[in-house]
Structure 1
Amino acid sequence: MADKIRQSGFIMEQQADEDLLLIEAYGDGGFRLMERRVEGGVLVLPTGFYPMDAETLADLTPAHFSKIVDEAPRPEIVLVGTGAKMQLLPAAIREHLEAANIGYDIMDTGAAARTYNVLLMEQRRVACVLLPVD
């Protein structure tokens, strides 16, 4: 099942407030969302999650953010979890998000996952790109 999720992503339709797509756990090189294990990096939107082929900041490209830019309505903010510690985003990604008029905040992956959950529960339009931690 993890291989299938890694290749295609998972889209959900919220039926009630308790159906929010929350990040349930992180660590050991992946994440748990909707009771499913996702290995490696992941893009999380309130409407679905999408495994990414990026595991380090050096692997991230503007293309990893294309679903966010295409999302309607666009998120107010994108949280970027850069791994075990906060690191600066490459200029190409910053410029890509700024050109799309999308705010972003960078932090370590644990902080990004927790902040995403809180903002989602507050009914904010939020998205996150999370790099794995061990």
Structure 2
Amino acid sequence: MPLDRADRHLPRPALIDSYGDGGFRLGDLSHRGALVCLTDGIWAADIAAPEAIGDDLIAFVAGSTPPVEHLLIGSGAAPWIVPDALRARLREHGMVVESMTTGPAVRTWNMLLVERRRVGAILLPVL
């Protein structure tokens, strides 16, 4: 099911305090499963593998206000190489994409968020 901005979400970006055991902790919240973290909020995502990132999710990320310039993909516990076609589609929306395992992606998200950069992240849980 595609994400919708009207879906229940945290209506602001937030630092991620911890991750693991299939989920994430941010502030006083805990979430099991994947997250889409953007400049205008954080949403739960029904995505189990980075290969499942498709046009609906790209359009959702591209609709962020202000627009995302740097998209991080936290691929879970295993590294994943961004296919050229996905990289090109994101570039059409003005985004540079970088893939890494979820731990480094969480740390990079936090750092870039503190720097007030226009960053987004698709974070898969680490089990």
TM-score grouping bracket, smaller chain normalisation: 0.7 to 0.9
SS of residue matched to 2:30:
strand
Deviation per residue, 1:37-96 (Å, 9 max, x gap)? 222111001331111110212332232232221122212201111111221124443232
Match of 1:123 among 116, 124, 127: 116
Deviation per residue, 1:82-130 (Å, 9 max, x gap)? 1112211244432320111211111111000000100111111111000
- Which residue number in structure 1 is paired with residue 3 of structure 2? none
Moved more, 33-42 or 75-84: 33-42
Percentage identity across paired residues of the two chains: 34
User: Structure 2 stretches of 5 or more lacking a match?
Assistant: 1-6
- Which residue number in structure 1 is paired with residue 38 of structure 2? 45
Q: What is the aligned length?
A: 122
Match of 2:21 among 28, 35, 39: 28
Match of 2:104 among 104, 111, 116: 111
Alpha-carbon distance in structure 1 between the residues aligned to 2:21 and 2:37 = 18
The ranges of structure 1 where at least 4 consecutive aligned residues each deviate by more than 4 angstroms after the TM superposition are none
Report whether the alignment pairs 1:132 with 2:125: yes
SS of residue matched to 1:51:
strand
Point out the structure with the larger helix share.
Answer: 1
TM-score by length of structure 1 reads 0.80
Match of 1:72 among 52, 65, 82: 65
- Which residue number in structure 2 is paired with residue 12 of structure 1? 11
User: Structure 1 stretches of 5 or more lacking a match?
Assistant: 1-7, 14-19
